[in-house]
């Protein structure tokens, strides 16, 4: 929270995207008990447990609520389901379906998520920041239109060109619902929230402005109008040079950087405020010198400004938990083997 206020800390605070996940044996055991993936997200008992697991094991400086960006379309009755080996699936939405969307019942459907946040607020160490989150409208819309994940989000891009009015209506609708969702998380006890725009990198310049910046700005303005103290991290994966004005145009307090952002460019971005990132998750899988060199380069380039150390995207299931132990030790200045 100090870094989100613009302070520089040494060592920097540390958390990892997807820090609660399949690389941890304790997560896999809890996941097996929970039933389906959505059952896990909507069970306050299980969701609280898996959120706390990496905090117990590694002592990260922040815990991030265990949930999924697709609970919003699920709450909108888009028949979201997670299929082993295929990821999320839902019935694709069309222009008529978009205009038929109603926000009624969304917040009540998500009540178990807010109960999880309240549980975490009670159970987390006082010094551990609690992060809530949502998906950015563009990224959530890509799944709603295609009905599943795709490599380049061509279905959503094509839909946006052919049905611009309906698509912009969808983005604005998702922005308003997502802002309500974040306010509820903050009221339940989240210290700060992150907006994940995982598919921002497939957008051209004009589309990035309209589909990535404008809806995220709408969320942030709505949240801060109601909760002026709210701190918001915006993560536009793959946005590259378009990050240059992303903070200013969205109003985010900090921006997340993926691993493809050059550290020289990251240093320029840091002059405008806090940055978060941006270790390649594959370095955590590799361990050893690759991991150490990646950590050291980030700390050397960004450690003299406001930095939240993180990965450039989520930790992968192949990661060795012992490599994460070594990562934490090295960031915090204690040498340790990561082999």
- Per-residue pLDDT tens digits for 170-204: 999 999 999 999 999 999 999 999 999 999 999 99
> Taking the CB of residue 323, how many other CB atoms lie within 10 A of it?
21
Annotation marks residue 258 as catalytic: no
Q: Is the pLDDT of residue 337 over 60?
A: no
CA distance 278 to 295: 9
| Domains in the chain: boundaries | 39-261
Position 84 pLDDT exceeds 90: no
pLDDT for the residue numbered 274: 98
We find that the CATH architecture of domain 39-261 is Alpha-Beta Barrel (3.20)
Q: What is the pLDDT of residue 83?
A: 81
pLDDT higher than 60, residue 335:
no
CA distance 26 to 53: 7
> What pairs with residue 233 in β-bridges?
194, 254
Q: Is 104 a catalytic residue?
A: no
**C-alpha span between 27 and 201 (Å, rounded):** 30
φ, ψ for residue 260, nearest 5 deg: -85, -5
Residues 296-314 have a mean pLDDT of: 98
- Between the CA atoms of 205, 210, 216 and 220, what dihedral angle is there, to the nearest 10 degrees? 120
pLDDT at 334: 66
> What integer pLDDT is reported at residue 87 of this predicted model?
86
- C-alpha 228/C-alpha 269 separation (Å) is 24
pLDDT at 338: 41
Catalytic residue status for 68:
yes
pLDDT at 339: 39
Q: Which long-range contacts (C-beta less than 8 Å, at least 24 apart) are formed by 24-29?
A: 24/53, 24/54, 24/57, 24/321, 25/321, 26/53, 26/57, 27/53
Residue from 23, 42, 58, 143 carrying the catalytic annotation: 143
Question: Which H/E stretch holds residue 132?
Answer: strand 129-135
Distance CA 182, CA 204 (A): 28
What 8-state DSSP symbol labels residue 51? H
User: Which of these ranges, 78-87, 88-97, 328-337, has the smallest mean pLDDT?
Assistant: 328-337
Residue range 217-246, pLDDT digits in tens = 999 999 999 999 999 999 999 999 999 999
Share of the chain above pLDDT 90, in %: 96
Instruction: Calculate the alpha carbon distances from 325 to 17, 87, 336 in Å.
Output: 15, 29, 8
Q: How far apart are CA 17 and CA 276, in angstroms?
A: 11
The question of whether 169 is a catalytic residue gets the answer no
Question: Which listed residue (18, 78, 157, 218) is catalytic?
Answer: 18
* Kind of pairing between the strands at 192-197 and 307-311: unpaired
Neighbours of 38 (CB within 10 A): 18
List 57, 68, 81, 217, catalytic entry: 68
Instruction: Count other C-beta atoms under 10 Å from residue 176's C-beta.
Output: 16
Residues 6+ apart with CB under 8 A from 275: 254, 255, 256, 257, 266, 269, 302, 305, 306, 307, 308
34-38, 52-56, 217-221, 320-324, range with the lowest pLDDT: 34-38
Query: What three-state secondary structure class fits 253?
Result: coil
Mean predicted confidence (pLDDT) in 31-37: 93
Q: Which residues pair with 148 in a beta bridge?
A: 89
Average pLDDT of the chain?
Answer: 96
Q: Is the pTM of the predicted complex or chain greater than 0.95?
A: yes
Determine the average pLDDT of the residues in 290-301.
98
Active site residue 18: yes
């Amino acid at each position: 929270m100090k870094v989100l206020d613009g302070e520089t800390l040494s060592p920097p605070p540390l958390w990892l995207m997807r820090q609660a996940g399949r690389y941890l044996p304790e997560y896999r055991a809890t996941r097996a008990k929970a039933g389906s993936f959505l059952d896990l997200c909507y069970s306050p008992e299980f969701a609280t447990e898996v959120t706390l697991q990496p905090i117990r094991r590694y002592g990260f400086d922040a815990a991030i609520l265990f949930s999924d960006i697709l609970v919003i379309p699920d709450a909108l009755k888009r028949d979201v389901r997670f299929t082993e080996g295929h990821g999320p699936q839902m019935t694709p939405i069309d222009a008529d379906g978009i205009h038929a969307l109603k926000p009624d019942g969304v917040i009540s459907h998500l009540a178990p998520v807010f109960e999880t946040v309240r549980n975490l607020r009670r159970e987390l160490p006082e010094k551990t920041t609690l992060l809530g989150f949502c998906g950015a409208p563009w990224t959530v819309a890509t799944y709603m239109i295609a009905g599943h994940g795709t490599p380049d989000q061509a279905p959503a891009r094509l839909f946006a060109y052919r049905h611009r009015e309906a698509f912009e209506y969808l983005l604005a609708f998702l922005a308003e619902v997502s802002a309500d969702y974040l306010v509820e998380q903050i009221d339940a006890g989240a210290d700060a929230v992150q907006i994940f725009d995982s598919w921002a990198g497939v957008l051209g310049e004009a589309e990035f402005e309209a589909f990535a910046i404008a809806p995220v700005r709408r969320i942030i303005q709505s949240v801060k109008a109601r909760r002026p103290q709210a701190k918001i991290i915006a993560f536009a994966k793959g946005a590259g040079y378009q990050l240059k004005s992303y903070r200013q145009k969205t109003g985010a307090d900090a921006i997340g950087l993926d691993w493809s952002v050059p550290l020289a460019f990251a240093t320029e971005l840091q002059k405008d405020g806090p940055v978060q990132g941006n270790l390649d998750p594959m370095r955590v899988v590799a361990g050893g010198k690759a991991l150490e060199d990646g950590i050291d380069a980030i700390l050397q380039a960004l450690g003299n400004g406001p930095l939240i150390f993180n990965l450039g995207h989520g930790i992968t299931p192949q990661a060795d938990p012992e490599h994460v132990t070594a990562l934490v030790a090295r960031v915090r200045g204690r040498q340790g083997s990561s082999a």
